[in-house]
Structure 1
Amino acid sequence: MLTGIYVRVSTQEQVNEGYSIGEQTERLQAYCTAKGWDVANVYTDGGYSGANTDRPALKQMITDIKQGKLEAVLVYKLDRLSRSQKDTLLLIEDVFNPNNVAFISMNENFDTSTPFGRAMIGILSVFSQLEREQIRERMQMGLDARAKEGLWHGGGWDPIGYDYVDGELIINEYEAEQVRKIHSLFQAGWPINRIRNYMNERYTTKTGGWKHDSSIQSALKTELYTGVINWKGNSYPGKHQAILTQETFDKSQKLYDERDSSKNGGKRYFQAKHMLTGLLYCAHCGGRYFAKGSFSGHKPNRTYRPYYTCYSRAKTNKRMIKDPNCMNTAFAVVKLDEIISDEIKKLIFNPYLLEQATDADDNSSEIKAYEKRISDIDKQLERLLDLYQMGLSQKDEVLERIDKLNIEKERLVDYVEQLEDDEPDLSIEETKAILLTAEEILNSDEKEKKRALTHSLISSIIIDGDEIIINWAFN
């Protein structure tokens, strides 16, 4: 029986529980030998959580299953596949069973080829998910307790103006003076982009400098500087020393609110209406996405429902159409905004994900998407040339279509080359600084601030059917 061995371990599990990659692999290979099974491949996800299925080796294994390369999947324990009951059952019901692939867990000693094995998987999945939820609950309780005690929650980075020493915030005088300077300039009437330029030319911080408007906004909006701890919508007296007086902070907030929607030097701070405008690209045709909408219902309950769609599919702007036959997925604005916000929040509460993302191959997902489109263009060109040679279609029309495809291909090839040479827009430390106020912004109703935050953290988002590929600015 052609068997795929799947091995997963998160960093913390390897330290605490001894589920090393090598140990799992050795035991599973020995198990296959004892059973007389042939090992087709070993799929290894090192340092990945079992909380979701966004893991490269797991995705490759699913692809191989659908291509008929496996007859069985073997894991050391059920929770190596997933700690989510929903994900486990979906993989079994939607991937393994339809492709006649047995799922075997060595430790629990059952497989899905029997009714008993299928029943046991459902039961054990419940306990795997329960364990994960209990861990999350204990961690949240610990963070709640720290906030009530007036202590910074930590998370792997220090806010500008402070150093995190032995579990407490200690003022960094050089950076603290920069925070005060930003408030002083803002209250003197300086626009944010001018403050950013001024600070970036003269000062450095632990994150590198003041390269983005969002870093200035964070310094203006972070209430931590007044000596309080904000946590889950509540404020607690902090044990750290304040950098700003409450009066100074309140004055900046009042000015910020007054100027937030007004013009600044002939320019608005942000001009696009929706959070993701300017970031979205179509993986099918290489075109941009934009937001449009329609009204539904009758007065007084008439509602406007905007959604993001590809220009090629919408055909509202001829200049923006890359492929008139493109039918890539459209997303409701509220749905896609929420998906991206959730991905940013994952970075806020799990610093390991941030470190992990910076280790990934730069721009690889975006490059892959555009290379797929280039491959599709080559196939179309081949078919058109056949039609031209056989005289089965109007030659002028065929030649015009060939010219358009060649132009698009050249543009995509140039873009891929640029991506391969791109350096990250953000350093890891700059990203951490931006994330300090990210949760507060994402949970607010301030659309312009949400858009500024999103555009600071993300370079582009590729839509490929139901798959959403985020290219982070720090990657």
Structure 2
Amino acid sequence: MMDRNKVAIYVRVSTQGQVDDGYSLDEQVDLLTNYCKLKEWTLYDVYVDPGISGKNMHRPEIERLTRDAKRKLFDIVLIYDLKRLGRSQKENIVLVEDVFNPNGIRLVSFTENFDASTPVGKMVFGMLSAYAELDRANIAERMMMGKIGRAKAGKAMSWGMPPFAYNYNKETGDLELDEVKAPIVEMIYSEFLKGASVNKIVQKLNSMNYHGKNHDWKHHAVTVIIDNPVYCGMMKYMGQTYQAKHTPIIDKKTFELAQLERKKRLAKYHNAEWVPPFQRKYIGSKICYCGLCGAHLKSEKDKKNKLTGIRSISFFCPNTRSRGTGECTNPRFKQSVLEGYILNEVAKLQQNPEKLKDIKPAEDNELHNKIATYEKKIKQNTSKLSKLNDLYLNDLISLDDLKQQSKSLLNENEFMEEQIKLLSATTREDELRKKIDTFLAFPDVLTADYDTQKQAVELVISRVEATKEGIDIFFNF
């Protein structure tokens, strides 16, 4: 006759301290093994997950237990308590309903004295699982409050990976200044506030053999230092900044100035019309785009020509490089070829002024959309004003509230009405004629100096898309 009381014991401890001491694991195994002897059950195997949180269901031994259960290698899973299995009600129920029950396996808890295969046991199991989940949530909340309290007390919050130029003291729980590395942080802030780019700072640090955390400096490492308030004696945790106890490297004024400078530079990069100074000097810098992926073309010097010794300029799509997406296949474009084509097309416009004067402006959908948006918002505000009056008449808001909120809405409507007047007064025709007249006043672009050529091109061309098949030019009219 087949033994229907073959038992799999599952035990777990949740902290590394319990693993190191070993008492919790051994105690669970001894108790459960003796319980099996008392019940005259046959022990199949013991599954042990040391030092792994019950919140994490991706545990090696619980996964092995699940596989063996599906193979029906035992009849009973014996645990010390539900917290050992997992502290989520959903996860416990999944194990019982989807793994144990379909394979005829009973879940038995030693301390809670229930058998999840019986109706009463199922009820107790559900209640205890919910309690275990609540307990885990309470523990997590207490831990979070403890961490917030630690941050408020100025204690270090980055003990696992302390900031550059600091070491973590396990005994005091504080950050200690590394006197050797601190001058490097001072230099980073100093160079940045003098106007040096992050890349320039990286190059300088590496050229001086000022290594970071055992490796060369990278762009990200420098920006992390510039953005970290720890260097001015503060501590950031959960979006809040607290006064810290450690020794600062820079003063708060220096840190604040660095943040203002960072915002200023980032604002420029996020402006689609802005092109970095070193990329702005050529005719194609602002207007040329990749015809395959749409990226803004960049310029760089080619390798030196062996015969002439000259390094010519080429434009390339950044997505052809590993630092981009690496997926674009557009070739490089010689500056002389790309800009020569653009200038010839612009020259054709200069040579046909009558054709330019016949151009009619396209319907300005953008202008109409702006006006329609303002009109819609005015209508919404007018409706809000009516509702505010109703609320006041029904004694649901005070007179002061009515005046304050009405004034805000009326001021907003007044501003939008002025904007509509300005937009309505400006016609596409006027803008177009002014642009054409300005363009026709330029000297011959084929013989003009480079700066004049650049100004003329940017006045009449909005975008140039280049591929190996050809170049497409989009004019501003």
Q: TM-score, normalised by structure 1?
A: 0.51
Q: Distance between the aligned counterparts of 2:264 and 2:181, measured in 1?
A: 27
Cross-structure match for 1:340: none
- Confirm or deny: 8 A CA contact 2:10 2:46 kept in the other structure: yes
Q: Secondary structure at the match of 2:142?
A: helix
Which of 51, 54, 58 is 2:55 aligned to?
A: 51
Q: Distance in 2 between matches of 1:258 and 1:249?
A: 14
Q: Which among 247, 253, 261 is matched to residue 247 of structure 1? A: 253
Quote how far apart the aligned CAs of 1:53 are. Answer: 0.4
- Partners of 2:43 and 2:203 in 1: CA distance: 59
Indicate the SS of the match to 1:124. helix
Cα offset, 1:189, TM superposition = 4.8
Q: Which structure 2 segments of 5+ residues have no match?
A: 280-297, 300-317, 326-368, 370-477
Alignment equivalent of 1:159, drawn from 160, 163, 166: 163
1:30 corresponds to 2:37? no
How far is 1:17 from its partner? 10
- Give the secondary-structure state (helix, strand or coil) at the position aligned to 2:149: helix
The match for 2:238 among 232, 239, 242 is 232
Q: Does 1:8 align with 2:12?
A: yes
Is contact 1:162–1:170 with CA below 8 Å preserved after alignment? yes
Which residue of 1 is the match for residue 112 of structure 2? 108
Write the distance in 1 (CA, Å) between the matches of 2:182 and 2:164. 7
73-82 vs 187-196, which moves further: 187-196
Partners in 2 of 1:94 and 1:200 — Cα distance?
Answer: 57
Deviations 1:163-183 (A, max 9, x none): 334133332222221212222
CA shift in 2, pair 1:2/1:176, >3 Å: same
Residue 169 of structure 1 aligns to a residue whose secondary structure is: strand
In structure 2, relative to structure 1, the CA distance for the partners of 1:188 and 1:60 (3 Å cut) is farther
Corresponding position: 1:125 with 2:129: yes
Structure 2 counterpart of 1:71: 75
Write out aligned runs for 1:46-445 (5 A). 46-165=50-169, 166-193=172-199, 195-196=201-202, 198-199=204-205, 202-204=209-211, 207-260=213-266, 261=269
Taking a change above 3 Å as real, the CA distance of residues 163 and 258 of structure 1, as seen in their structure-2 partners, is: same
- What is the letter of the counterpart of residue 127 of structure 1? Y
How many angstroms does 1:197 deviate by? 5.3
Deviations 1:405-438, CA, capped at 9 Å, x for gaps: xxxxxxxxxxxxxxxxxxxxxxxxxxxxxxxxxx
**Contact kept in structure 2, 1:13 and 1:19, CA below 8 Å:** no
Larger gyration radius, structure 1 or structure 2: 2
Look up the SS of the partner of 1:199 in the other structure: helix
Q: 5+ unaligned residues in a row in structure 1: which ranges? A: 279-298, 300-475
Q: Residues of 1 paired with 2:32 and 2:214: CA distance?
A: 47
Deviations 1:292-351 (A, max 9, x none): xxxxxxx9xxxxxxxxxxxxxxxxxxxxxxxxxxxxxxxxxxxxxxxxxxxxxxxxxxxx
Identity %: 38
Q: Secondary structure of 1:20's match?
A: helix
Q: Deviations over 1:219-273 (max 9, x none)?
A: 11101212222222222233333212233323333343344437777789xx89x
Q: Is the 8 A contact 1:203 1:209 kept in 2?
A: no
Q: Residues 77 and 250 of structure 1: is their aligned pair in 2 closer, same or farther, counting only changes over 3 Å?
A: same
2:366 aligned partner: none
Cα deviation, residue 191, structure 1: 4.5
Tell me how many residue pairs correspond in the alignment.
272
Aligned mates of 1:236, 1:97 — CA distance in 2: 52
- Work out whether residues 52 and 87 of structure 1, in 8 Å CA contact, stay in contact via their aligned partners in 2: no
By how many angstroms is 1:12 displaced? 4.8
- Counterparts of 1:15 and 1:43, CA distance in 2: 15
Give me the whole-angstrom Cα distance separating, in 1, the residues matched to 2:105 and 2:7.
9
Shift of 1:54: 1.5
Q: Give, in angstroms, the shift of residue 147 of structure 1.
A: 2.3
The amino acid across from 1:105 in the alignment is: S
> Residue 103 of structure 1: CA displacement?
0.6
Displacement of 1:16 = 11
- The residue aligned with 2:396 is none
Q: Could you say what the CA RMSD is over the residues aligned between the two structures, in angstroms?
A: 3.2
Is the Cα–Cα contact under 8 Å of residues 154 and 167 in structure 1 kept in the other structure? no
